[in-house]
C-alpha cells in the first residue's frame, strides 16, 4: 500500500537553496527542472519506501538514497509516510548535518 511523502521544513529550505544556486549558475528554467526532478524522485518513494541504504549509525531509522549521483536524499519511513529529512547537493557533509539534528 502506498504511503504519503512529506518534506521536513529543513528539506524544503535545502531545495529552495539549491534552486537559487542553480538559477544563478544556469537559468531559472534549468533550476526548476532539476529541483522538480528531485521532488518527483522523492515522491516516488511512496511506492517503494524502503529503497536506499539504512544509516542507523547517523540517526535511528534513517535511510539514504541518491538522485543522479549528485544529490543525497535522507529520509525516514514509518507505517503511513516517508519523511524527507534532508536533500544534500554536491558532496555536502550530510552525515554531520543529520547527526547534529535539525
Q: What average pLDDT does the segment 48-69 reach?
A: 94
Residue 56 pLDDT > 90: yes
pTM: 0.91
pLDDT of residue 92: 79
Q: Could you tell me the three cell numbers for 76?
A: 525516514
pLDDT of residue 93: 84
In this structure, are residues 6 and 83 in contact, taking their beta carbons and an 8 Å threshold?
yes
Q: What average pLDDT does the segment 63-86 reach?
A: 95
Residue 44 pLDDT > 90: yes
pLDDT of residue 101: 65
Computed over every residue of the chain, the mean pLDDT equals 93
- Architecture of the 4-99 domain: 2-Layer Sandwich (3.30)
Strand intervals (E) in 35-80: 53-54, 62-67, 71-77
Amino acid at each position: 500500500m502506498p504511503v504519503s511523502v512529506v518534506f521536513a521544513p529543513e528539506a524544503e529550505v535545502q531545495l529552495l537553496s539549491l534552486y537559487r544556486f542553480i538559477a544563478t549558475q544556469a537559468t531559472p528554467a534549468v533550476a526548476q527542472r532539476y529541483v522538480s526532478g528531485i521532488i518527483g524522485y522523492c515522491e516516488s518513494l511512496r511506492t517503494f519506501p524502503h529503497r536506499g541504504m539504512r544509516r542507523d549509525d547517523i540517526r535511528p531509522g534513517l535511510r539514504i538514497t541518491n538522485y543522479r549521483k549528485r544529490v543525497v536524499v535522507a529520509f525516514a519511513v514509518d507505517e503511513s509516510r516517508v519523511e524527507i529529512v534532508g536533500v544534500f547537493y554536491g558532496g555536502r557533509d550530510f552525515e554531520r548535518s543529520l547527526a547534529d539534528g535539525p
